[in-house]
Structure 1
């Protein structure tokens, strides 16, 4: 059978774009890609990139305050959201053009419209046109989830926060994951009064308990009102804001309520179930190690598969798929020991096992140091950083590393290289410290604080 394309990709995010480019350049495939919104996906348009730029913006008030402590006659005025947003929009436009340019350069045909599946080899575009492909890749990512409750329509999500006309004076962030915690810190840094509700016992579930407790304490000390064990019952519009009734028995009023209670795979309405593509309970496309679904011609990568929902992982999955199917080099994405960074203030970097998970697996040693870093200590701040290594008693391998500190994301990337290579605690010990730095603590901790 003759097809219009060798590969049709649905979704123009990082994973889909990488797959399309590799298939076209290395695999010499005839490739098309459809994106119904903007090229670049969640990360570039409404996720990692704009969020990190907002993180940078929110850190300047404390930097100026520190500058005064160092002797600078430094002052900071009010934050002009309109100026920032205009520059942000321009930067996102630039990045979107770069994504398009990369696809054009690879010879990929672009359809700026929604695409759904009609059968295992046929895609129907929003225009009504149908095209066929030998292989179809689903790379539609995920979307924010807001639970159903009275007044839920008053909430915004991380998608809308970048498009606000003006910043609210009082904001409630609902959720305890990394997106909720990051935005609580961002908004707080921009001078907004912030409360954070989370129905669990501690924010950042799934991360190391000691480290997430350290982050939560720092957030509270910065002025964020974290209410754990608290959920929203209902919301209603008032003349002066949004009234929020919560499970802790309080009614509070806010100017905006941002929900960050998780994301779900963006698989609905694509025609997948009708074709027999097996989906998980949350709507994720179930795939094998080579990203192939239960229908042989249909593959999926990225957040829509709900494996590890990180942009670099989606890119690796897209690249592995393209090399397997079109370059003749069977390749699987390695999901083991993937480092991550939470851009709270302070930042939190993590790779490998938490203390809790490691303790269930085998006998371990825990090396940990908490201290006041030189830069902010001199400025008179009470900031504390945390460096933590989880070590196997038997193999001596470092099973996990957790860092809570300014620039933790930068540090954990390098620690991840060593841990991925199988470094032992003695390898860390043999490494000469770079002094004076925060990260030198990773190679100077000689005595475990506990074993188990």
Structure 2
């Protein structure tokens, strides 16, 4: 459906990541005149150096892990020596080929997104953009680092979606060879002999899990009591136990003071004086928004102390004509949230029907092995009295399909409003938890009760059967 206006609205989008892409696409679909400014390519760092390549690497790690664990299911791999004797081969990973493939997939995804925008009628300008007041972008264009040509883009609405970059510590500066950020990992030709991961948040845990599955020795330096300190405590405990069982060393309550290169090694010095030596070090200590020096404050846009752009539930900033989406804003740093913000911003700016973003309905996933998926209120919030709810946890080991697949770790946990039984949240720890959590997300979004969720027919046997089993166990007598 195309809306018509007395004068076509002009929308300029700065940054072509998930938020900017969706904003541009939504604007074009509503009949606006849309210009997208992107520095490195459509899709931004999310597609080219972050989400797409990292999850592709993790998919390879999962395949390697599956081969290694196939023996538990009775599948055995043997080759024959010259004498005819059976010999068990080792699983090896060609990291150069893996990285070549994941970067190719990232470029393909970027080109696909670019084609979609061009087909929709979006004008794409490649260059470095900055705001010149509340209704104009100035873009430096041209080839190479020294962009000498300039383009001025006037607009009724600006959408800022400039993303974030890895945080760099002065005492641990990446060199792109041995000391690395997560955007630099894809330059490696071989699986690291021993990679030290500094930071046990989502990024650190995901890469630690992946590289251990790929065959690297891994040491995870965590400043907290356990890995994934911001996640469901039961889920984090499962992941840490799996890490340790798989030979991944976790150094809890250990803060990295500095990281230095020593020839072909790296030395991580901890705050208590201990040293950890390895072949490589991945710095996964968070990210900072790319909001400095692009004219936001001069245009009157309010920023948080962290540099993130303050937005309301329709992605609007303190300046009525300027919206912000994605990791540069002060909402959840998730690609799905960025996409929703981008669409919501344009719908609101153009007077279309809009549903303000409800963070409690957002589903998130951590791509460790097994994965952790969450939605809605958390157990911690219930225990602290912020939300009123009952909790039920069902171990995945009791699920018949899990037994058939050799799955030993994981669970399904549901949270339901006390009294009404309305589903208000849940946690899934399982292989492909990102796929299994959807029924719980739908229940949260549409305020279904545990009885309504339990009445859905799950396939027998299936992992999703644990969701209806858990809901059935929370039956509200009425």
Q: Return the alpha-carbon distance in structure 1 between the equivalents of residues 322 and 463 of structure 2.
A: 48
Could you tell me which of 50, 54, 61 is aligned with 1:51? 54
Q: What is the aligned partner in structure 1 of residue 139 from structure 2?
A: 125
Q: What is the aligned partner in structure 1 of residue 164 from structure 2?
A: 142
CA contact (8 A) 2:396 2:402 kept: no
CA contact (8 A) 2:11 2:159 kept: yes
CA RMSD of aligned residues (A): 2.4
Change (3 A) 1:164 1:393: same
Indicate the SS of the match to 2:344: helix
The farther-off stretch of 66-75 and 209-218 is: 66-75
Deviation by residue 1:354-379 (Cα, 9 ceiling, x = unmatched): 21111222553221122436677568
Indicate the SS of the match to 2:436: helix
Q: Return the alpha-carbon distance in structure 1 between the equivalents of residues 338 and 387 of structure 2.
A: 31
The farther-off stretch of 95-104 and 117-126 is: 117-126
Q: Return the alpha-carbon distance in structure 2 between the equivalents of residues 383 and 219 of structure 1.
A: 14
Report 1:289-368 matches (<5 A).
Answer: 289-326=313-350, 328-359=352-383, 360-368=385-393
CA contact (8 A) 1:4 1:133 kept: no
**Structure 2: which 5+ residue stretches go unaligned?**
1-6, 78-88, 141-148
Q: What is the aligned partner in structure 1 of residue 12 from structure 2?
A: 8
Report 1:144-159 matches (<5 A).
Answer: 144-149=166-171, 155-159=179-183
Asked if residue 23 in structure 1 is aligned to residue 27 in structure 2, the reply is yes
Deviation by residue 1:334-363 (Cα, 9 ceiling, x = unmatched): 433111111101111111122111122255
Could you tell me which of 177, 182, 191 is aligned with 2:206? 182
Indicate the SS of the match to 2:328: helix
Q: Return the alpha-carbon distance in structure 2 between the equivalents of residues 274 and 80 of structure 1.
A: 49
Asked if residue 86 in structure 1 is aligned to residue 100 in structure 2, the reply is yes
Q: By how many angstroms is 1:76 displaced?
A: 5.2
Change (3 A) 1:107 1:169: same
Higher relative contact order (CA 8 A, sep 6+): 1
Deviation by residue 1:71-130 (Cα, 9 ceiling, x = unmatched): 444355421112122222221221111111111112211111110112222222122333
Q: What is the aligned partner in structure 1 of residue 227 from structure 2?
A: 203
Q: By how many angstroms is 1:425 displaced?
A: 2.6
Q: What is the aligned partner in structure 1 of residue 145 from structure 2?
A: none
Report 1:190-339 matches (<5 A).
Answer: 190-326=214-350, 328-339=352-363
Q: Return the alpha-carbon distance in structure 2 between the equivalents of residues 69 and 289 of structure 1.
A: 49
Could you tell me which of 411, 420, 445 is aligned with 1:395? 420
Q: By how many angstroms is 1:419 displaced?
A: 2.3
Change (3 A) 1:166 1:66: closer
Q: Return the alpha-carbon distance in structure 2 between the equivalents of residues 384 and 291 of structure 1.
A: 39
Change (3 A) 1:238 1:99: same
Change (3 A) 1:129 1:371: closer
Q: Return the alpha-carbon distance in structure 1 between the equivalents of residues 24 and 67 of structure 2.
A: 45
Deviation by residue 1:20-61 (Cα, 9 ceiling, x = unmatched): 1211221x2211111111211232112222122111111223
CA contact (8 A) 2:94 2:190 kept: no
Asked if residue 99 in structure 1 is aligned to residue 118 in structure 2, the reply is no
Q: Return the alpha-carbon distance in structure 2 between the equivalents of residues 240 and 58 of structure 1.
A: 25
Q: Return the alpha-carbon distance in structure 2 between the equivalents of residues 150 and 67 of structure 1.
A: 40
Asked if residue 35 in structure 1 is aligned to residue 38 in structure 2, the reply is yes
Q: By how many angstroms is 1:190 displaced?
A: 0.5
CA contact (8 A) 1:324 1:331 kept: no
Q: Return the alpha-carbon distance in structure 2 between the equivalents of residues 109 and 263 of structure 1.
A: 30
Asked if residue 163 in structure 1 is aligned to residue 187 in structure 2, the reply is yes
Q: What is the aligned partner in structure 2 of residue 412 from structure 1?
A: 437
Indicate the SS of the match to 1:119: coil
Could you tell me which of 410, 426, 444 is aligned with 2:451? 426
Aligned residues: 444
CA contact (8 A) 1:173 1:180 kept: yes
CA contact (8 A) 2:167 2:288 kept: yes
CA contact (8 A) 1:4 1:131 kept: no
CA contact (8 A) 2:23 2:346 kept: yes
Q: Return the alpha-carbon distance in structure 2 between the equivalents of residues 131 and 378 of structure 1.
A: 59
Q: By how many angstroms is 1:5 displaced?
A: 7.9
Q: By how many angstroms is 1:248 displaced?
A: 4.4
Indicate the SS of the match to 2:444: helix
Q: Return the alpha-carbon distance in structure 1 between the equivalents of residues 19 and 338 of structure 2.
A: 5
CA contact (8 A) 1:321 1:332 kept: no
Change (3 A) 1:329 1:170: same
Deviation by residue 1:127-172 (Cα, 9 ceiling, x = unmatched): 2333322221111111111333265666311111123343321111
